[in-house]
Amino acid sequence: MRLRLASLLAAAALALLPTTAQASVTYPDPQPITGQQIIHDPTLIRLKSGGYVAYSTGGIIGARTSKDRVHWDDAGNAFSTPPSWWYEYNATGDPWAPDLSYRAGRYWLYYAVSSWGTNHSAIGVATSPTGLPGTWTDHGKAFTSETTDTWNAIDPALIRADGRLWMSFGSYWTGIRMVELNPRTGKALEGATVHHLATRPDAPYAVEGPYIVRHGRYYYLFASYDQCCAGVNSTYKIRVGRSTAMTGPYTDSTGKPLLEGGGDLLLEGHGRYIGTGGESIFKDRGRDVLAYHYYDADDNGTPKLGLNTLSWTKNGWPRVF
C-alpha cells in the first residue's frame, strides 16, 4: 500500500464516506503489545481457564498465548502433524485463516486448506477441551468447494443465533458466502443453501475474510477488501455493513448493499501499519475487541498482530479506538 499523509486520508474519507463507521479520519494505532508479535489472520479467545490464545495462518496453525493480552509468547502449533486429508488440497499440508470459538463445553477450531489461486478448497473442523495447542482432535471436512463452484471455501467464521449455527466464508470468486451448520457435528447441513452476502462489482471481486457479530438488533458483517499478502505493497482494509437478518441483505450506512460493492471503511493502513485486515472479533470482559494483522513498514513488511477495542455509536455503527 502506498503511504499517505494523514491530511490526505482525512480529505478522502470526508469526501467519499461522510457517515462511515471509522473512529476518526486518521485511524488509531494498534494497542501496544510485547513478545511474539508476528502473526497472520489472527483469531483470539479468552480461555475459560484464564489467559488468551491466538491461532493464525503459518505453521500447522500457529499458536500464541498471553496472560494479559499485552505480552504474547510463541506456543507452537495447534497440531503436531497435518491431518492426512489436507494433502488433497496442497502438497505441503498448509492450512490458512483459522477461526476459534467456544460452545457446548468445547473449543471449536475451523480452518481452510487450499492452494493459491484456486477454489478447490476445504474448511476443516477440530475440537479441544482446553483450546490450547496440542489438544486438538480433527474431525475432517466441514464444507468444500470445487472449481465448478462460484465460491471459495476458505476464511471461515462462525456465529450462533436463535439456536442455529452459521458459517460465513469466502475469498474472491464472487465474494462472501454463508452456510448453515449442524450444531452437533459442526459441519454443513446436507443440502444447505449457500447464501450470498457481499461482493465487488469488478473482477477479481477482491473481498474476503468475513466475520459477523451481533450488536443490538443488527448483524454486522466485517470483511477485508483489496490485496493481502504483499508486505508493504498490501492494500488490505476492513469494511463493514449490517443487516437485521443473518443471511442479509447487508448494507452500509449510506444504504448501499454489500452485494453491490458497498461497505463502510472501518480501518485501513496508516503510517507504519500497512494493509490492515484478516480480522476477527472476540469478547473480553464484555467489550468487543478487533484483532487483525498489519504489515510493519518499519520492519520490512513483517506481518504483526493488531488489537483495538470496538465501540458503538448511537446510530449503531462500530468504530475503532
Residues classed as catalytic: 41, 208
Rounded Cα–Cα distance for residues 213 and 34 (Å): 28
Q: How far is CA 287 from CA 46, 157, 247, 310, in A?
A: 12, 19, 25, 7
Cell 458459517, residue located = 167
Q: What is the DSSP letter of 89?
A: T
3-state secondary structure of 162: coil
Contact 314, 302 (CB under 8 A): no
Rounded Cα–Cα distance for residues 209 and 229 (Å): 13
Three cell numbers written together for 186 = 459442526
Rounded Cα–Cα distance for residues 80 and 39 (Å): 19
φ, ψ dihedrals at 14, nearest 5° = -70, -35
Per-residue H/E/C for 263-313 = CEEEEECECCEEEEEEEEEEEECCEEEEEEEEEEHHHCCEEEEEEEEEEEC
Q: Which of 252, 321, 253, 250 is nearest to 290 (CA)?
A: 321
- Beta-sheet strand order (sheet of 137-145): 95-103, 106-113, 121-128, 137-145
- Beta-sheet strand order (sheet of 62-66): 34-35, 71-77, 62-66, 52-56, 43-46
